[in-house]
Structure 1
Amino acid sequence: MSIEFDLLAEVKHVFFDMDGTMVDSIPFHQESWLRFLSNHGIHLRPEEFRAQNHGTIHEMIRRFFPHEKSSQRILELGEEKEYTYRQLYSSYLVEIKGLSSFLEHLKTNGISIHLSTMGDQNNIDFILDGLELRHFFKTITGGHEVFKGKPDPEIFELSLKKAGAKPAESIVFEDSGGGIRAAKAAGLRVLGLATTHSKRELIELGWLAAYHDFSEILNEKRRINFNSPKEV
């Protein structure tokens, strides 16, 4: 089991998004939002929700509850939504195929591993501890630490600062359009996981390469050329 990165000497840091990248949790987030909003008398079709699904949890709460002015109430509503998500997803929690083996490969090859997610601390704990992956990550940056959500680059800029990393020596694994825009705005190169988009859609959005899962990357026989986008 092996993977070769072109320009390996330049790749010292790998940053991972969490939802949709490490775990296929996006459908559960959407369902939890729809249930949560319905419980508060806000009834949306999935496509209506997806059009507004961007930003931090607190940005989204303010979007759906514009009448709420209390910061404490906004915090409580956000926590209620995330609790709904964890309850819904807990019985289905599983890593994207090959993730732990890929993380072990990176660690063995001396590449530092970092988490850059819009998830809050409770969701980070839920995923990392539930999958027993916390020990792989040198730094962890969550949505509760930034003011602006993806596609704003703040989450990656903070992650780079905490990691002491330069964009030129780093890559990011992401799954969403907002994620790639945020990463590229921070000067980072991006590889894609085809969970929420097809491989072709990811390449068209600007990913360097796209994969179904991490096992596919580990089994990839050709070298990944960071300078030439391709669908594999």
Structure 2
Amino acid sequence: MHGPGAGHAGPEAILTGVTIKALIFDFDGLLVDTETTLLESWRWEWQRHGLELEPAGFFADHGGDVNESRYVALAGAVGPAYDRESSHLLRTAHRARLNAALQPAPGITDWLDRAAGLGLRLAVASSSGSAHVSPLLDQVGLRDRFEVLATGDEVGAHKPDPGVYLLALDRLGLLAEEAVAFEDTAHGVTAARTAGLRCVAVPNPHADHRRFLAADLLLPSAVSMSLDAVLAELAA
């Protein structure tokens, strides 16, 4: 063990006899609730056309940007008068306004503080691109917490493909058994587990908790359990 946690047997040292050296976090919906701002931006855009968005099926079962299919659906609902370029500009501007008010998800900062106290290294593994992830991490004051960023524009496939987790592990220089992943979606859990990581699931507000059977631990929020208790529960 190294860093601030050296010299004592912290909970990171007892997971199946392997020293846990790093925590790897998903971004959207876990560190900050960008999933809600995405949905709300699309609801707003449908309402601007006098229409109601049906939220069922809105969120894809994989990572990455699926907005093109959403524009196609809206165009079909609006008809020939639909202006795709204007729609995109107005919706993304509205989402930017919503994102400007974002803060770290409840309990996340406490987990990151405790991780620093235990000497754990921190990484982000997100299917979103770096142009989305990095500015928002800066905005909410979390960018400096993370030693490594691995994003969807750097790998060939999005979650549930494990590529972005394997990239994060490579940049950390660690084996999968030396890290724990934190995810808010079922396909994210699949990606982490396929990469060989243990995974803690903290479903976002729009995720079905019943779909997280592959997670090693399922929590309602980061507030519900301290990081020490999370690591102890994984060890048990």
TM-score range for the pair, normalised by the shorter chain length = 0.7 to 0.9
Deviation at 1:64, TM superposition (A): 5.0
Alpha-carbon distance in structure 1 between the residues aligned to 2:167 and 2:230: 33
Q: Is the 8 A contact 1:86 1:123 kept in 2?
A: no
Q: 1:155 to 1:185 in 2, by over 3 A?
A: same
Alpha-carbon distance in structure 2 between the residues aligned to 1:131 and 1:20: 14
Q: Is the 8 A contact 1:55 1:149 kept in 2?
A: yes
Q: 1:30 to 1:96 in 2, by over 3 A?
A: same
Alpha-carbon distance in structure 2 between the residues aligned to 1:126 and 1:34: 24
Aligned to 1:89: 99
Q: Is the 8 A contact 1:21 1:175 kept in 2?
A: yes
Aligned to 2:181: 172
Q: Deviations over 1:65-115 (max 9, x none)?
A: 78xxxxxxxxxx999865543222222x01112222221211221110001
Instruction: Mark the runs of 5 or more structure 1 residues left unpaired by the alignment.
Output: 67-76
Q: 1:12 to 1:25 in 2, by over 3 A?
A: same
Alpha-carbon distance in structure 1 between the residues aligned to 2:94 and 2:183: 24
Alpha-carbon distance in structure 2 between the residues aligned to 1:39 and 1:53: 27
Alpha-carbon distance in structure 1 between the residues aligned to 2:230 and 2:150: 32
Alpha-carbon distance in structure 2 between the residues aligned to 1:79 and 1:140: 28
1:142 paired with 2:151, answer: yes
Aligned to 2:82: none
The one-letter amino acid of 1:4's match is P
Q: Is the 8 A contact 2:177 2:196 kept in 1?
A: yes
Aligned to 1:216: 224
Aligned to 1:191: 200
Q: 1:221 to 1:134 in 2, by over 3 A?
A: closer
Alpha-carbon distance in structure 2 between the residues aligned to 1:222 and 1:158: 24
1:225 paired with 2:233, answer: yes
Q: 1:200 to 1:45 in 2, by over 3 A?
A: closer
Bigger-Rg structure (1/2):
2
Alpha-carbon distance in structure 1 between the residues aligned to 2:40 and 2:61: 12
Percentage identity across paired residues of the two chains: 24
The one-letter amino acid of 1:29's match is L
Deviation at 1:121, TM superposition (A): 2.4
State the TM-score, normalizing by the size of structure 1. Answer: 0.74
Alpha-carbon distance in structure 2 between the residues aligned to 1:115 and 1:61: 23
Q: Is the 8 A contact 1:82 1:123 kept in 2?
A: no
Alpha-carbon distance in structure 2 between the residues aligned to 1:113 and 1:190: 14
The 5-angstrom pairing of residues 120-159 of structure 1 reads 120-159=129-168
Alpha-carbon distance in structure 1 between the residues aligned to 2:21 and 2:208: 26
Question: Which residue of the other structure, out of 127, 132, 156, is the alignment partner of 1:118?
Answer: 127
Following TM superposition, where does structure 1 have runs of at least 4 consecutive aligned residues deviating by more than 6 angstroms? Answer: 37-40, 77-81
Alpha-carbon distance in structure 2 between the residues aligned to 1:109 and 1:88: 34
Alpha-carbon distance in structure 2 between the residues aligned to 1:25 and 1:178: 17
Instruction: Mark the runs of 5 or more structure 2 residues left unpaired by the alignment.
Output: 1-9, 73-86
Structure 1, 133-142 or 215-224: larger mean CA deviation: 215-224
